[in-house]
Amino acid sequence: MLSNACQYAIRSILYLSIHSNETKKIGVKVIADELETPQPFLAKLLQQLAKKKLVSSIKGPHGGFYLTKKNNENSLWDIVTCIDGTDKFDNCFLGLATCDDKNPCPVHFIVVPFKQKLLNDFRDKTIAQFTKEITLSGRVISLKDFNALKD
Amino acid sequence: MLSNACQYAIRSILYLSIHSNETKKIGVKVIADELETPQPFLAKLLQQLAKKKLVSSIKGPHGGFYLTKKNNENSLWDIVTCIDGTDKFDNCFLGLATCDDKNPCPVHFIVVPFKQKLLNDFRDKTIAQFTKEITLSGRVISLKDFNALKD
DNA sequence: CTCAAAACATAACAATTGTCATATTTTAAT
DNA sequence: ATTAAAATATGACAATTGTTATGTTTTGAG
Ligand code: FES
Ligand code: FES
C-alpha cells in the first residue's frame, strides 16, 4: 500500500519527533542506523521532505535534521502526499476508472469504509499526537525493537 | 495495494464467472476488450491462473477460457495468492520486521482491523457468491461501465 | 580565514513490474 | 489430412521504483 520510500519517511519523521527539537539536530547517519534503512536513500527522502517543510534542517558542522513545533503539527497524510501521492487511496481497488457509491465495483463496499477510516486517522491526527501515543504506550519504530525508546 | 496484474486477474475471473461456463468459452481477445486491459499481458495472467487451476481452458478453434463449477468455488484470496503473493497483507504497514499485537508499530491498531476484515471477505466468500451479488446489485467490472452486464 | 562536517544536488545503476512480440502446440471444422 | 483458431511458452523491451555513488554548497569551530 505504502511504498518503501514512504514507510522510511514516516518512520524517520516519527523518530525525529521523538528525539529531536530546535536545539537537538540529528544527522542522516544516525537516523538511518537507528531505523535500519539504507542511508543514501533516506538522505534523499529527507531532502524531499525538507523541501516541502515537513522537516527542518541546517547544514554545517553539528547540523542535521529536526522537527520544529510547527513541523509536529503536520499529519502522516502530509508525508504520504509528499512521497507517494494520493492516487493509490483515491482510485478503485480493482483499477476501474471511477470509484464512487453510484458505480461500485464488486469490492467497493468492502474496501471503502476501511480506506475512509485509515484516511481520517492519517489526516486528522498530528505527528505530535502520534508520538505522544508512542511514548506512552511503548510502540515501535525501529527494526531493532525497543532500543529506540530506551533513552 | 493490489498490483495491476492482480486487479486484471480478479476482474477477468469475475467476468468469466458471469459470462462463461463449461459449454461457453471465451477467448482472451474478447475478455481483454471487454475489460479494457492490455491483451498480451492478460493472456499471460490467464495462463498463470490456468496453471493453478483457478480458470479452465481448452485450445483450438472455439476454445477459450471458462470457469467450471469447481473453479467458481475458489475465493478472491486464491487469486491474490496466485498473482501477488500474500506478503503485502502479512507485513507491517510501516515495513517493520514483525507485525503483531505484542510489538505494534504506531499505526498497527489502525491498520490491522481493516486488513483482517478485508482478508476475511476475500478468503471466505467464493467467486460464485461474489458474482451472485454482482448480478443482483448491478456492480461494475469493466471500464465501460454497465455494458458488461447488459447481455 | 581555513577547514571539516554536514545537508544538498545530480546522476548512474539495479531490481521489479508492466508491456509487447514471436514462435509453438493443440484441436475442431472442413 | 489440411487448415485455421485458439491457448501456451519464451523472451525482448519499457517504465517505475529502489539503491548507490559522486560532487557541491553551506556553515560553525578553531
Ligand atoms: S469502485 Fe472499486 S473500490 Fe470503489
Ligand atoms: S506492526 Fe506495523 S502494522 Fe502491525
CA of B22 to the centre of ligand 2 (A): 44
Nearest residue for C4, CA–C1': A61
**C-alpha cell of residue B110:** 489502525
Paired with B65 in beta bridges are B26, B57
- Nucleotides on strand D lying under 7 Å from protein C-beta: 4-11, 17-22, 25-29
The answer to whether the beta carbon of residue B47 comes closer than 7 angstroms to any atom of strand D is yes
CA B27 and chain centroid, separation? 18
pLDDT tens string A44-66:
999 999 999 999 999 999 999 99
Helix axes A108-124, B108-124, angle to 10 degrees: 180
Interface membership of A15 toward B (CB under 8 Å) = no
Query: Measuring from the CA of residue B84 to each C1', which nucleotide is nearest?
Result: C17
Q: Does B14 touch chain A (CB under 8 A)?
A: yes
CATH number at residue B57: 1.10.10.10
Asked if residues B18 and B30 have their Cβ atoms less than 8 Å apart, the reply is: no
- Put simply, the answer to whether A95 touches B8 (Cβ < 8 Å) is yes
pLDDT in tens, A80-123: 999 999 999 999 999 999 999 999 999 999 899 889 989 999 99
Name the residue range of residue A122's domain: 4-150
pTM of the model: 0.91
Q: Give the total number of structural domains in chain B.
A: 1
pLDDT at B110 over 50: yes
Confidence of residue B149 (pLDDT cuts 50, 70, 90): very low
**First-to-final CA distance of chain A:** 32
pLDDT in tens, A5-57: 999 999 999 999 999 999 999 999 999 999 999 999 999 999 999 999 999 99
- CA dist., res. A108 & res. A114, Å (int): 10
Strand C, CB < 7 A, residues 94-133 of A: none
Q: Would you call A10 an interface residue with chain B, using a CB distance cutoff of 8 Å?
A: yes
Cα–Cα distance, B35 to B54 (Å, whole number)? 19
- Which of B118, B140, B143 lies nearest to residue A110, judging by beta carbons? B118
Q: Which residues contact B96 (CB under 8 A, 6 or more apart)?
A: A140, A141, A143, B103, B105
